[in-house]
């Protein structure tokens, strides 16, 4: 990633932090986006610098198109180009379908799906000009299986896969690849909120016998961002210890 410029949305913690540090190490240049947690975004930037990269932190709500545009401009202003966008920012507002409130549907779809669209639209122009780009969208295995209690989240994550494949087709001739990763059960604040009992039940369904770590996801994202993945586009890579085959 030497000299490559990446934006990681939701880079302040969890999977986003691990991805940002992975893309930043040994000379990578990273825009660490956060929504509210500045101190945690600064910690990510610190870890990138410790690992031999450079980073800036940038507040933006990805669901707002003008914020996404500003995020792209901040990468261009700080580092002069934009090579990689990782659409990682995501939230859950779980409930049974009949109980989902309009605002919980909108918040989840606007952050998890529209947010990625906002970033892709803003990033595509500079990437097309450069004739190089790597876009990686963080979906979820539940997009492939469905999940009771998560209709809003699953719809957004499944939409992200359709968005990935369409963007891959539109941008392939410009040397821009667009892929998705579909993590399974990864240990972060998002899954910690489910409690110990749910944790044990989930792990029982994982052939690998353990929950995933943010680092497990970061390795796969870094591969899709690397030159080794130049001929891979429009794909969904499950990172789930064998949970969904
Ligand atoms: P997390 O620990 O809850 O972190 C969420 C991140 O998203 C934070 O950095 C947060 O920023 C940021 N964020 C939320 N809303 C945002 C917005 N509107 N604009 C910009 N940033 C926003 O989540 P995680 O578990 O690392 O999940 C990361 C991604 O992986 C999500 O898309 C999630 O759906 C997906 N995923 C997770 C799992 C899992 O098991 N954990 C499984 C499959 C997929 P602040 O810190 O500033 O609030």
A 10 A CB-CB count for 50 gives 11
Asked if pLDDT for residue 20 goes beyond 90, the answer is yes
Summarize pLDDT for 183-198 with one digit per residue, the tens.
999 999 999 988 889 8
3-state secondary structure of 150: strand
Instruction: Give distance in angstroms: CA of 60 to centre of ligand 1.
Output: 13
Candidates 89, 144, 237: which one to mutate for ligand 1, based on the most atoms within 8 Å of Cβ?
89
Please say if 231 is a catalytic residue. no
State which ligand 1 atom lies nearest to the alpha carbon of 214: 26
Summarize pLDDT for 118-136 with one digit per residue, the tens.
999 999 999 999 999 999 9
Query: Could you tell me if the CB of 87 is within 6 A of ligand 1?
Result: no
What pLDDT shows up at residue 203?
95
Query: Could you tell me if the CB of 190 is within 6 A of ligand 1?
Result: yes
CA distances from 199 to 195, 206, 212 (A): 6, 11, 11
From 34, 79, 132, 153, the catalytic residue: 153
- CA 176 remoteness from chain centre: 17
- CA 91 remoteness from chain centre: 11
Residue 63 near residue 114, CB atoms below 8 Å: yes
CA distances from 138 to 26, 32, 129, 233 (A): 23, 16, 25, 14
Query: Could you tell me if the CB of 6 is within 6 A of ligand 1?
Result: no
CA atoms within 13 A on the CB side of 113: 19
Q: What is the DSSP secondary-structure string of 159-227?
A: HHHHHHHHHHHHHGGGTEEEEEEEE-SB-SHHHHTT-HHHHHHHHHT-TTSS-B-HHHHHHHHHHHHSG
What pLDDT shows up at residue 1?
84
Summarize pLDDT for 155-175 with one digit per residue, the tens.
999 999 999 999 999 999 999
What pLDDT shows up at residue 165?
99
Summarize pLDDT for 66-93 with one digit per residue, the tens.
999 999 999 999 999 999 999 999 999 9
Structure tokens at 73: 């401009």
Buried-state track 131-144, b at ≥16 Cβ within 10 A, e below 16: ebbbbbbbbbbbbb
What pLDDT shows up at residue 146?
98
3-state secondary structure of 88: coil
CA angle 5, 55, 168 (to 5 degrees): 30
């Amino acid at each position: 990633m030497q000299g490559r410029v990446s934006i990681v949305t939701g880079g302040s913690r969890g999977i986003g932090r691990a991805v940002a540090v992975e893309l930043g190490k040994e000379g990578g240049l990273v825009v660490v986006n956060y929504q509210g947690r500045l101190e945690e975004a600064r910690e990510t930037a610190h870890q990138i610098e410790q690992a031999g990269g450079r980073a800036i932190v940038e507040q933006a709500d990805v669901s707002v198109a003008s914020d996404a545009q500003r995020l792209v401009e901040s990468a261009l202003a700080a580092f002069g180009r934009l090579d990689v966008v990782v659409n990682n920012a995501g939230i859950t507002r779980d409930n049974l379908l009949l109980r989902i409130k309009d605002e919980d549907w909108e918040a989840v779809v606007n952050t998890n799906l529209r947010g990625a669209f906002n970033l892709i639209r803003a990033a595509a122009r500079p990437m097309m000009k450069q004739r190089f780009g790597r876009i990686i969208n963080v979906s979820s295995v539940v997009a492939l299986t469905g999940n009771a209690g998560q209709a809003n989240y699953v719809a957004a994550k499944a939409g992200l896969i359709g968005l990935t494949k369409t963007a891959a087709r539109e941008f392939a001739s410009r040397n821009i690849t667009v892929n998705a990763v579909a993590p399974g059960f990864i240990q972060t604040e998002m899954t910690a909120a489910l409690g110990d009992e749910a944790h044990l039940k989930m792990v029982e369904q994982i052939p690998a016998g353990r929950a995933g770590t943010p680092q497990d996801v970061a390795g796969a994202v870094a591969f899709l961002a690397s030159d080794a993945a130049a001929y891979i586009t429009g794909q969904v890579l499950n990172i789930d210890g064998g949970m969904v085959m």
